[in-house]
A = this chain, B = another copy of it.
Amino acid sequence: MSVIADASLTRFGKREETLLDLACESAVPLVKKYSQDIDFIIVSNAYSGEYNDVSGLNNLISTRLSLDDVPSIRVDNTSGSGGSSIMVADSLIRSSSARNVLVIGAEKMTGFPTKRSTRIIASLLQPEERSSGMSLPSLGAFMARSYLSEFGAPREAIARVAVKNHHNGSLNPYAQFQSEISLEEVMNSKIIADPLRIYEYCPISDGAVSLLLVPDENAKSFSSSGAAITGTGYSSSTSSISSRKSITTLDCVKRSSEMALRYGKITNNDVDVAELHDMTSVLEIIESEDAGFFRKGEGWKAVMNGDTDIGGTVPINTSGGLNSKGHPIGASGVAQAAEIYQQLSGKAEKRQVQNAHYGFSLSMAGFGNSATAIVYEGLS
């Protein structure tokens, strides 16, 4: 078993620094404390070549951090890179291939026109679907329409996800957006892909997050608190979205969540705080159902009831989620783990969920193309 012993984040948003600068900004506080202990570096990043004209990012980072000898790799699984990187780090530790792993999630995506950025991300779609003009925002809209009609949910329920996550973001000093928004503001904002509006989509973001993962038997020598990774689950679905049986169910989310909970030896009811992949508002609702927190078709009620608020029965995206915290692609899944680490260590300040002991995160690639679920247990 491995334990997240420490975490460090940059503020997410539109940043002037380079990708390499941001990655190192997040890592330096950990390197200062643990440089002698780190014996492997995993860089979670998907698009350094496309956005930043950089390759071999992991090696450039280790050099900049003066960790010249420390071996490193880049792990990519598009938006799900963070979850995959943590899963690999955990496996390296459990197989004794590495002792203490520095996981750095980093991406710098601003600076390009939105259209070009959307085109880069669309390069993950099936070639046939991509050439038909599909994009991730349009798929979100299709999912929202299907969900509303299939389950008779009110349109406002989906928008309320954005209201909640902007509220949570307003409590997170690392979030890209730190202002609350009202339901009216969401519903009157610019349409991106009908019926979804701009406040319901994650922004284009820069940012980085670093974690130190250590073997559980040594965890106490690093810190009295921490988040043990007690279960990981991972699965994929076809990337041919038009060939899926349902657009309102994400099979890989179901399978990966079941697997992580089984290994973690807990049930959904035990989870005190969860981070989901809300690239767009409706995804949070669908995932909250497929991860097993609510019955299919009833996730929207939980949002309306406040069950997913900080203080609710299952607080979801206390960090602000991708929606408000921002979504630097390779960093997002690592940031989810950082949020859970902070919550389970009692370090989440204004966002703190009381008595949080078990955490859950779901890092997703593409549009349900692949998912990594992680179950965490607080050490203290």
A residues with CB within 8 A of B: 20, 46-47, 49-50, 53-56, 58-60, 62-63, 67-78, 84, 87-88, 90-92, 94-97, 120-121, 123-127, 232, 234-240, 251-252, 255-256, 365-366, 369-370, 372
Q: Check A59 against B123 for contact (C-beta < 8 Å).
A: no
- Known pairs A56-B366, A60-B239. 16 more at Cβ < 8 A? A49-B49, A55-B120, A55-B123, A56-B77, A56-B123, A58-B77, A59-B77, A59-B370, A60-B127, A63-B238, A63-B240, A67-B236, A72-B236, A72-B370, A94-B96, A97-B232
Copies in the complex: 2
For A67, what are the chain B residues with a Cβ–Cβ distance below 8 Å? 236
Q: Chain B: which residue is nearest A87 at the CB level? A: B97
List the 9 closest A-B pairs by CB distance, nearest first.
Answer: A56-B124, A95-B95, A71-B234, A94-B95, A74-B76, A91-B97, A91-B95, A68-B238, A63-B239
For A370, what are the chain B residues with a Cβ–Cβ distance below 8 Å? 58-59, 71-72
Q: Pick the contact of A73 from B56, B88, B121, B251 — CB < 8 Å?
A: B88
Expressed in whole angstroms, the minimum distance between the Cβ of A70 and any Cβ of chain B is: 6
For A232, what are the chain B residues with a Cβ–Cβ distance below 8 Å? 97
For A94, what are the chain B residues with a Cβ–Cβ distance below 8 Å? 95-97
Expressed in whole angstroms, the minimum distance between the Cβ of A4 and any Cβ of chain B is: 17
Which of A50, A84, A97, A251 counts the most B-chain CB atoms under 10 A from its CB? A97
User: How far apart are the CA atoms of A236 and B56 in the complex, in Å?
Assistant: 12
Expressed in whole angstroms, the minimum distance between the Cβ of A71 and any Cβ of chain B is: 4
For A69, what are the chain B residues with a Cβ–Cβ distance below 8 Å? 235-237, 251-252, 255
Expressed in whole angstroms, the minimum distance between the Cβ of A52 and any Cβ of chain B is: 9
For A71, what are the chain B residues with a Cβ–Cβ distance below 8 Å? 234-236, 256, 370, 372
For A91, what are the chain B residues with a Cβ–Cβ distance below 8 Å? 88, 91-92, 95, 97
Q: Check A56 against B78 for contact (C-beta < 8 Å).
A: yes
User: How far apart are the CA atoms of A53 and B130 in the complex, in Å?
Assistant: 12
User: How far apart are the CA atoms of A77 and B77 in the complex, in Å?
Assistant: 14
Expressed in whole angstroms, the minimum distance between the Cβ of A34 and any Cβ of chain B is: 17
If A74-B76, A255-B69 touch, whether A55 touches B121 (CB-CB below 8 Å) is yes
Which of A73, A235, A370 counts the most B-chain CB atoms under 10 A from its CB? A73
Q: Check A76 against B73 for contact (C-beta < 8 Å).
A: yes
For A125, what are the chain B residues with a Cβ–Cβ distance below 8 Å? 56
User: How far apart are the CA atoms of A252 and B50 in the complex, in Å?
Assistant: 28
For A84, what are the chain B residues with a Cβ–Cβ distance below 8 Å? 73
Q: Check A46 against B55 for contact (C-beta < 8 Å).
A: yes
If A73-B88, A236-B62 touch, whether A369 touches B124 (CB-CB below 8 Å) is no
If A88-B88, A366-B56 touch, whether A123 touches B49 (CB-CB below 8 Å) is yes
Q: Chain B: which residue is nearest A52 at the CB level? A: B123
User: How far apart are the CA atoms of A96 and B127 in the complex, in Å?
Assistant: 34
For A234, what are the chain B residues with a Cβ–Cβ distance below 8 Å? 71
If A55-B47, A55-B123, A123-B49 touch, whether A73 touches B77 (CB-CB below 8 Å) is yes
